[in-house]
A and B are shown apart, each in its own frame.
Chain A
Amino acid sequence: MSTITTLLEGTIDFRGQVMAETVTQVGIISSAILAFAVGYALQSFEILLLVFGGGVVLTLLAVLPPWPMYNRHPVQWLKTTSSSSVSSSTASQKEISASSSTETKDD
Protein backbone atom coordinates (compact mmCIF):
# COMPACT_ATOMS: atom_id res chain seq x y z
CA MET A 1 0.00 0.00 0.00
CA SER A 2 2.78 2.39 0.91
CA THR A 3 4.48 1.73 -2.44
CA ILE A 4 1.27 2.63 -4.32
CA THR A 5 0.87 5.87 -2.36
CA THR A 6 4.47 6.82 -2.95
CA LEU A 7 4.05 6.10 -6.67
CA LEU A 8 0.90 8.25 -6.81
CA GLU A 9 2.37 11.02 -4.66
CA GLY A 10 4.12 13.10 -7.35
CA THR A 11 4.25 16.25 -5.25
CA ILE A 12 5.02 19.67 -6.76
CA ASP A 13 6.01 22.94 -5.14
CA PHE A 14 3.79 25.97 -4.45
CA ARG A 15 4.63 27.93 -7.62
CA GLY A 16 4.13 24.69 -9.55
CA GLN A 17 0.65 24.30 -8.03
CA VAL A 18 -0.35 27.78 -9.21
CA MET A 19 1.01 26.94 -12.66
CA ALA A 20 -0.86 23.61 -12.77
CA GLU A 21 -4.09 25.41 -11.83
CA THR A 22 -3.71 27.93 -14.68
CA VAL A 23 -2.77 25.16 -17.13
CA THR A 24 -5.92 23.24 -16.10
CA GLN A 25 -8.23 26.22 -16.52
CA VAL A 26 -6.75 27.45 -19.80
CA GLY A 27 -6.55 23.94 -21.27
CA ILE A 28 -10.09 22.85 -20.46
CA ILE A 29 -11.85 26.13 -21.25
CA SER A 30 -9.99 26.53 -24.56
CA SER A 31 -10.72 22.91 -25.51
CA ALA A 32 -14.42 23.53 -24.76
CA ILE A 33 -14.45 26.63 -26.99
CA LEU A 34 -12.56 24.78 -29.74
CA ALA A 35 -14.91 21.80 -29.44
CA PHE A 36 -17.97 24.02 -29.79
CA ALA A 37 -16.50 25.85 -32.81
CA VAL A 38 -15.43 22.68 -34.62
CA GLY A 39 -18.65 20.83 -33.80
CA TYR A 40 -20.81 23.73 -34.95
CA ALA A 41 -18.76 24.23 -38.13
CA LEU A 42 -18.92 20.55 -39.08
CA GLN A 43 -22.49 20.15 -37.69
CA SER A 44 -21.49 17.09 -35.71
CA PHE A 45 -22.15 16.47 -32.05
CA GLU A 46 -19.83 13.46 -32.08
CA ILE A 47 -16.86 15.58 -33.19
CA LEU A 48 -17.67 18.09 -30.42
CA LEU A 49 -17.46 15.31 -27.83
CA LEU A 50 -14.25 13.90 -29.34
CA VAL A 51 -12.51 17.30 -29.42
CA PHE A 52 -13.52 18.12 -25.85
CA GLY A 53 -12.50 14.65 -24.61
CA GLY A 54 -9.15 14.97 -26.39
CA GLY A 55 -8.60 18.36 -24.77
CA VAL A 56 -9.32 16.92 -21.31
CA VAL A 57 -6.89 14.03 -21.91
CA LEU A 58 -4.18 16.45 -23.08
CA THR A 59 -4.75 18.62 -19.98
CA LEU A 60 -4.48 15.56 -17.76
CA LEU A 61 -1.20 14.62 -19.48
CA ALA A 62 0.13 18.14 -18.94
CA VAL A 63 -0.94 18.45 -15.31
CA LEU A 64 -0.93 15.00 -13.70
CA PRO A 65 2.72 13.88 -13.78
CA PRO A 66 5.14 15.95 -11.64
CA TRP A 67 6.92 17.46 -14.65
CA PRO A 68 10.19 19.27 -13.80
CA MET A 69 8.64 22.65 -14.70
CA TYR A 70 6.38 22.31 -11.64
CA ASN A 71 9.37 21.72 -9.32
CA ARG A 72 11.59 24.68 -10.20
CA HIS A 73 10.99 26.56 -6.94
CA PRO A 74 11.39 24.05 -4.13
CA VAL A 75 10.62 25.37 -0.63
CA GLN A 76 13.80 26.49 1.14
CA TRP A 77 13.51 25.35 4.72
CA LEU A 78 15.36 27.19 7.52
CA LYS A 79 18.43 25.49 8.84
CA THR A 80 18.11 23.69 12.16
CA THR A 81 19.20 25.90 15.05
CA SER A 82 20.76 25.21 18.45
CA SER A 83 18.53 24.61 21.51
CA SER A 84 19.19 28.10 23.01
CA SER A 85 17.71 30.01 20.04
CA VAL A 86 14.70 27.67 19.68
CA SER A 87 12.47 29.79 21.95
CA SER A 88 13.19 32.99 20.00
CA SER A 89 12.57 31.27 16.66
CA THR A 90 9.21 29.88 17.86
CA ALA A 91 8.26 33.38 19.03
CA SER A 92 9.06 34.81 15.60
CA GLN A 93 7.04 31.99 13.98
CA LYS A 94 4.09 32.93 16.21
CA GLU A 95 4.39 36.52 15.04
CA ILE A 96 4.41 35.39 11.43
CA SER A 97 1.36 33.20 11.93
CA ALA A 98 -0.46 36.04 13.71
CA SER A 99 0.28 38.47 10.88
CA SER A 100 -0.77 35.97 8.26
CA SER A 101 -4.09 35.38 10.07
CA THR A 102 -4.81 39.12 10.07
CA GLU A 103 -4.06 39.20 6.34
CA THR A 104 -6.58 36.47 5.69
CA LYS A 105 -9.13 38.41 7.75
CA ASP A 106 -8.54 41.46 5.57
CA ASP A 107 -9.20 39.37 2.47
Chain B
Amino acid sequence: MYNQLQRLNSVVTFALTVAFVLMGVVSFTSLYQPLDASANVKVKGIRLRQGSSFPDYYNENAAKSEYVHLAMDIDADLTKLFHWNTKQVFLMLVAEYETPKMATNQLVLWDTIVQSPEDAQFKLRKYRNKYHFNHFSRKFDTQSANLTFYWDITPHIGLLQRQRQGKIPMKVTLPPLSYK
Protein backbone atom coordinates (compact mmCIF):
# COMPACT_ATOMS: atom_id res chain seq x y z
CA MET B 1 0.00 0.00 0.00
CA TYR B 2 3.07 2.25 0.07
CA ASN B 3 3.09 3.41 -3.56
CA GLN B 4 0.66 3.37 -6.47
CA LEU B 5 1.81 0.12 -8.08
CA GLN B 6 1.54 -1.74 -4.78
CA ARG B 7 -1.96 -0.37 -4.26
CA LEU B 8 -2.95 -1.40 -7.79
CA ASN B 9 -1.60 -4.89 -7.13
CA SER B 10 -3.37 -5.33 -3.81
CA VAL B 11 -6.72 -3.96 -5.05
CA VAL B 12 -6.73 -6.15 -8.18
CA THR B 13 -5.71 -9.33 -6.35
CA PHE B 14 -8.32 -8.76 -3.65
CA ALA B 15 -10.96 -8.02 -6.30
CA LEU B 16 -10.12 -11.28 -8.10
CA THR B 17 -10.37 -13.26 -4.86
CA VAL B 18 -13.78 -11.74 -4.10
CA ALA B 19 -14.89 -12.32 -7.71
CA PHE B 20 -13.98 -16.00 -7.39
CA VAL B 21 -16.06 -16.32 -4.21
CA LEU B 22 -18.94 -14.43 -5.87
CA MET B 23 -18.90 -16.79 -8.87
CA GLY B 24 -18.90 -19.75 -6.48
CA VAL B 25 -21.98 -18.38 -4.72
CA VAL B 26 -23.73 -17.78 -8.08
CA SER B 27 -23.02 -21.32 -9.28
CA PHE B 28 -24.23 -22.71 -5.94
CA THR B 29 -27.56 -20.84 -6.09
CA SER B 30 -28.25 -21.98 -9.65
CA LEU B 31 -28.00 -25.63 -8.58
CA TYR B 32 -31.20 -25.26 -6.56
CA GLN B 33 -33.39 -23.43 -9.05
CA PRO B 34 -36.76 -25.05 -9.75
CA LEU B 35 -36.33 -26.48 -13.21
CA ASP B 36 -39.38 -27.90 -14.87
CA ALA B 37 -39.76 -27.80 -18.59
CA SER B 38 -42.20 -29.59 -20.82
CA ALA B 39 -41.26 -31.21 -24.08
CA ASN B 40 -43.48 -33.64 -25.89
CA VAL B 41 -43.27 -35.53 -29.13
CA LYS B 42 -46.01 -37.19 -31.16
CA VAL B 43 -45.14 -39.55 -33.96
CA LYS B 44 -47.30 -38.79 -37.00
CA GLY B 45 -45.67 -41.16 -39.42
CA ILE B 46 -43.22 -44.02 -39.26
CA ARG B 47 -41.53 -46.09 -41.93
CA LEU B 48 -38.87 -48.77 -41.86
CA ARG B 49 -36.71 -48.86 -44.95
CA GLN B 50 -33.63 -50.67 -46.05
CA GLY B 51 -30.80 -48.81 -47.72
CA SER B 52 -27.26 -47.58 -47.45
CA SER B 53 -26.45 -44.41 -45.62
CA PHE B 54 -25.39 -42.81 -48.91
CA PRO B 55 -26.15 -44.17 -52.43
CA ASP B 56 -23.41 -46.29 -53.90
CA TYR B 57 -24.17 -46.63 -57.63
CA TYR B 58 -21.15 -48.76 -58.44
CA ASN B 59 -21.51 -51.44 -55.80
CA GLU B 60 -24.76 -53.32 -55.71
CA ASN B 61 -23.53 -55.44 -52.81
CA ALA B 62 -22.83 -52.45 -50.60
CA ALA B 63 -23.83 -52.98 -47.00
CA LYS B 64 -27.42 -52.03 -46.37
CA SER B 65 -29.11 -51.49 -43.09
CA GLU B 66 -32.57 -50.76 -41.80
CA TYR B 67 -33.47 -47.13 -41.23
CA VAL B 68 -36.46 -45.79 -39.37
CA HIS B 69 -37.91 -42.61 -40.89
CA LEU B 70 -40.11 -40.59 -38.60
CA ALA B 71 -42.42 -37.62 -38.95
CA MET B 72 -42.84 -35.97 -35.58
CA ASP B 73 -44.75 -33.14 -33.97
CA ILE B 74 -42.62 -31.55 -31.26
CA ASP B 75 -44.11 -29.23 -28.64
CA ALA B 76 -41.66 -27.73 -26.20
CA ASP B 77 -41.71 -25.02 -23.58
CA LEU B 78 -38.28 -24.52 -22.03
CA THR B 79 -38.78 -20.97 -20.74
CA LYS B 80 -38.63 -22.10 -17.12
CA LEU B 81 -35.10 -23.39 -17.62
CA PHE B 82 -33.87 -19.83 -18.22
CA HIS B 83 -32.81 -18.24 -14.97
CA TRP B 84 -30.04 -15.67 -14.47
CA ASN B 85 -27.25 -18.20 -14.79
CA THR B 86 -28.49 -20.01 -17.91
CA LYS B 87 -26.45 -19.43 -21.01
CA GLN B 88 -28.17 -21.91 -23.30
CA VAL B 89 -30.14 -25.15 -23.31
CA PHE B 90 -29.31 -28.10 -25.50
CA LEU B 91 -32.43 -30.15 -26.17
CA MET B 92 -32.18 -33.62 -27.66
CA LEU B 93 -34.66 -36.31 -28.58
CA VAL B 94 -33.28 -39.74 -27.76
CA ALA B 95 -34.59 -43.11 -28.89
CA GLU B 96 -34.04 -45.78 -26.26
CA TYR B 97 -34.67 -49.46 -26.81
CA GLU B 98 -33.70 -52.88 -25.58
CA THR B 99 -32.36 -55.73 -27.64
CA PRO B 100 -31.67 -59.31 -26.50
CA LYS B 101 -27.93 -58.61 -26.55
CA MET B 102 -27.88 -55.06 -25.21
CA ALA B 103 -29.93 -53.75 -22.31
CA THR B 104 -29.71 -50.08 -23.25
CA ASN B 105 -29.37 -48.58 -26.70
CA GLN B 106 -29.55 -44.82 -27.08
CA LEU B 107 -29.68 -42.84 -30.29
CA VAL B 108 -30.02 -39.09 -30.70
CA LEU B 109 -32.64 -38.48 -33.39
CA TRP B 110 -33.02 -34.74 -33.23
CA ASP B 111 -31.52 -31.86 -31.30
CA THR B 112 -31.54 -28.10 -31.04
CA ILE B 113 -29.79 -25.34 -29.15
CA VAL B 114 -31.98 -22.74 -27.44
CA GLN B 115 -30.13 -19.57 -26.56
CA SER B 116 -32.79 -17.22 -25.28
CA PRO B 117 -36.11 -17.55 -23.42
CA GLU B 118 -37.86 -15.91 -26.40
CA ASP B 119 -36.94 -18.90 -28.56
CA ALA B 120 -37.67 -21.45 -25.85
CA GLN B 121 -41.28 -22.07 -26.80
CA PHE B 122 -41.89 -23.79 -30.10
CA LYS B 123 -44.23 -26.12 -31.92
CA LEU B 124 -42.75 -28.05 -34.79
CA ARG B 125 -45.00 -29.96 -37.18
CA LYS B 126 -44.02 -33.06 -39.14
CA TYR B 127 -40.31 -32.83 -38.52
CA ARG B 128 -38.16 -35.66 -39.78
CA ASN B 129 -35.42 -37.13 -37.64
CA LYS B 130 -32.22 -35.17 -38.07
CA TYR B 131 -29.86 -38.12 -37.57
CA HIS B 132 -30.04 -41.69 -38.85
CA PHE B 133 -32.14 -44.05 -36.78
CA ASN B 134 -30.49 -47.41 -37.39
CA HIS B 135 -29.12 -50.18 -35.25
CA PHE B 136 -25.39 -50.89 -35.41
CA SER B 137 -25.97 -54.51 -36.42
CA ARG B 138 -27.90 -53.18 -39.47
CA LYS B 139 -31.12 -54.91 -38.44
CA PHE B 140 -33.40 -54.04 -35.58
CA ASP B 141 -33.66 -56.85 -33.03
CA THR B 142 -36.50 -55.04 -31.34
CA GLN B 143 -40.09 -54.18 -32.06
CA SER B 144 -40.46 -50.98 -30.10
CA ALA B 145 -38.52 -47.99 -28.89
CA ASN B 146 -39.13 -45.15 -26.45
CA LEU B 147 -38.64 -41.52 -27.41
CA THR B 148 -37.41 -39.35 -24.55
CA PHE B 149 -36.23 -35.76 -24.31
CA TYR B 150 -33.03 -34.86 -22.53
CA TRP B 151 -31.75 -31.37 -21.95
CA ASP B 152 -28.39 -29.98 -20.90
CA ILE B 153 -28.48 -26.63 -19.17
CA THR B 154 -25.27 -24.74 -19.88
CA PRO B 155 -24.69 -22.12 -17.18
CA HIS B 156 -22.64 -18.95 -17.42
CA ILE B 157 -20.68 -20.28 -14.49
CA GLY B 158 -21.02 -23.56 -12.62
CA LEU B 159 -21.82 -27.14 -13.45
CA LEU B 160 -23.54 -28.43 -16.56
CA GLN B 161 -26.85 -30.02 -15.57
CA ARG B 162 -28.47 -32.79 -17.55
CA GLN B 163 -32.13 -33.53 -17.04
CA ARG B 164 -34.47 -36.13 -18.41
CA GLN B 165 -38.05 -35.58 -19.37
CA GLY B 166 -40.07 -36.46 -16.30
CA LYS B 167 -43.15 -37.82 -18.01
CA ILE B 168 -43.72 -41.23 -19.55
CA PRO B 169 -41.73 -41.58 -22.77
CA MET B 170 -43.45 -41.89 -26.13
CA LYS B 171 -43.55 -45.49 -27.28
CA VAL B 172 -42.93 -46.25 -30.93
CA THR B 173 -43.69 -49.60 -32.56
CA LEU B 174 -41.54 -50.39 -35.53
CA PRO B 175 -43.54 -51.29 -38.65
CA PRO B 176 -42.57 -53.99 -41.12
CA LEU B 177 -40.10 -53.15 -43.87
CA SER B 178 -41.80 -51.01 -46.48
CA TYR B 179 -39.02 -50.80 -49.04
CA LYS B 180 -36.04 -52.95 -49.95
User: Counting CB contacts under 8 A, is B21 at the interface?
Assistant: yes
Q: A36-B26, A45-B85 are in contact. Are A28 and B4 (CB under 8 A)?
A: no
Q: Give Cα A8–Cα B1 distance, bound, in whole angstroms.
A: 13
Residue in chain A with minimal CB distance to B19? A52
Q: A24-B14, A48-B26 are in contact. Are A8 and B3 (CB under 8 A)?
A: yes
Chain-A contact segment, one of B5-13, B97-105, B134-142, B143-151: B5-13
Interface flags for A65-92 (1: CB within 8 Å of B; 0: not) read: 1100000000000000000000000000
Taking Cβ atoms with an 8 Å cutoff, the residues of B that contact A are 1-5, 7-8, 10-11, 14-15, 18-19, 21-22, 25-26, 29, 83-85, 156-157
Nearest chain A CB to B90 CB, angstrom units = 18
Measured CB to CB, the residues of A under 8 A from B are: 8-12, 16-18, 20-21, 24-25, 28-29, 32, 35-36, 39-40, 42-45, 48, 52, 56, 59-60, 63-66
Q: Which A residues are CB-close (under 8 A) to B5?
A: 8
A12 in contact with B2 (CB, 8 Å)? yes
CA distance A59 to B13 in the complex (A): 13
Given contacts A45-B84, A64-B4, contact A28 B11 (CB under 8 A): yes
- Kindly state the separation between the CA atoms of A64 and B22 in the bound complex, as whole angstroms: 24
- Which 5 pairs, one residue from A and one from B, show the smallest C-beta to C-beta distance? A17-B1, A10-B4, A43-B84, A56-B15, A45-B156
Contact B3 A40 (CB under 8 A): no
